[in-house]
Chain A
Amino acid sequence: MMRSPMPSPPRSSAPASGPERTSSGRYSLWRLLREGLAGQRGWSHAWAKAAPRPRYRVVVVGGGGHGLATAYYLAAAHGISDVAVLERGPLGLGNVARNTTIIRSNYFQPDNVRFYELSLKLWESLEHTLNFNAMVSQRGALNLFHTEAQRDLFTRRANLMRLEGVDAEALSREAVKALVPLVDLDNGRYPVLGGFLQPRGGTVRHDAVAWGYARGASEAGVDIVEHCAVTGIRHEGGRVTGVETARGFVAADTVCLAVAGHSSELARMAGFELPIETHVLQAFVTEGLKPVLDVVLTYGAGHFYISQSDKGGLVFGGAIDGYNTYGQRGTLPMVEEVTAAAVTLLPALARVKVLRQWGGVMDMTMDGSPIISKTPLAGLILNGGWCYGGFKAIPAGGFTTAHLIAHGTPHPVAAHLDLARFAAGRMVDERGAGPFPWLH
């Protein structure tokens, strides 16, 4: 009974606008069985493949997790379905498809705890909201600590979470060992002193999040337009009027950028710069194994975190490479660093084989926290700056961005993520690393 109750946003009952669409129908075990008898021939497109219309009330640029979730909540929670999501390639192949699938809400800044907790609550009801099983698996997120200073920091964080009504537990060394028998508590260099567990943390099948939101948005009347690169942002008198695309001009009252990793490029089209640098974050997966790791585990003496997917592969990652790059690929020094931490903490992995490495490019902000904000250009909304925390934030990011678009004012749990905070000195700096994105 880990799930905490959260009313799912109302689904719009307004008829779909735009091109005629065939619904993919409701998913259920019974339908699956029925289709099985019929050779699985009755399924149709999970989301309608729309062509862009000349104008929309809202154009969302970026068909990734945040863009699709924003469009979904605009339609489902605010009744705004005159919306297009424009994606330059096929949807859902950016960072939503390149992360390590972790969800959690353990943060140091009270505002961040509230924001990510909203997200966690939305995750908990996601399959019912979307009628799409994204396999939200609340198996627990465990942070190990190796020094007393680290214990103090995590104590402070866990206490804050508890004050905010979020789950957090301190674990002894023995409890860590019981939960993760693979861990070598002594490990030769930085012994594990204990751990902090967020039982409601866990993993989600990442691709399914994009597909589920796309399907939900599409059924609610949103046009999802793939292979439609935005090449310019048109504005007049300080107000956005629409976007130039590879498939012609698309007018809009509001344009929302949800292109984390490439926010700076889009902002440049709109004529301003952002407090963002683009960096690559790598991830890795091993061959499939029978169940051997039941939590999301984070090492505290190096950059390394790991979980086991339902398919059996160990999915793991480390820190960003630390220099500006748009190259969505893995690099070598990080391989050594991450795997060294893995073998140190979990020596039984020594003979397990790593299959693939890949990279996703992140919007790294100057304080390590995201941006959901109005911009210097009226009518242009930014959802970006996700650093490496974008995946877990998808539901809340979409939900609060939709709120900002629909109401013109920030959602209370995302108000601290405004763009003006940098000039004002209201940074939301989890690590205290300062305006050095490569240190966050």
Chain B
Amino acid sequence: MLRIPCPWCGTRDEVEFRYRGDATRSRPAAERALEELTRYVYSRENPLGWHLEWWLHVGGCRRLLKIERHTLSHEIRWVGAPDAMPPAGKAS
């Protein structure tokens, strides 16, 4: 069971959160090519390894968190606000 360190609420059980998927892409504006939006909506890196992802703390502060988690060990090594990025050099 994941225990997610929410910066606002402290460490909480995963059941308080709603997963919102891959956080590596930012949404292209609609004027951009259809292809880019298609990629944004459908295409996933889906790595076996470190994964940057969204979790919405619906059972707590209702804040959106950006989390870097390992998809095999489930270790969480970074949590930040939506506009933050994990420290460089930890990208892979």
List chain A positions with a Cβ less than 8 A from chain B: 262, 264-265, 268, 273-278, 322-327, 331-333, 366, 422-423, 435-438
Contact = CB atoms under 8 A, between A and B. Distances in A.
11 contacts: A264-B45, A273-B43, A277-B21, A277-B22, A277-B44, A322-B19, A323-B2, A327-B74, A333-B15, A423-B38, A438-B21
Nearest to A327: B72
B14 A333 contact: yes
B48 A326 contact: yes
Contacts, number: 70
A268 B47 CA distance: 9
B41 interface: yes
B51 interface: yes
Contacts of A326: 48, 71-72
A274 B51 CA distance: 16
Contact of A324 (B13, B15, B46): B46
A273 B35 CA distance: 14
Nearest to B44: A277
- Please indicate which of the listed interface residues B21, B35, B46, B48 has the most CB atoms of chain A within 10 Å of its own CB: B46
B19 A278 contact: no
Interface of B: 1-2, 13-15, 19, 21-22, 35, 38-39, 41-48, 51, 53, 71-74
Contact of A327 (B13, B19, B42, B71): B71
Contacts of A275: 42-44
B8 to A, nearest CB: 20
B81 to A, nearest CB: 20
Contacts of A273: 39, 43-46
Contact of B48 (A262, A322, A422, A423): A262
Contacts of A333: 1, 13-15
Contacts of A435: 41-42
A323 B71 CA distance: 9
A276 B46 contact: yes
B25 to A, nearest CB: 11
A274 B48 CA distance: 14
Given A322-B19, A331-B1, A422-B38, A264 B71 contact: no
B46 A277 contact: yes
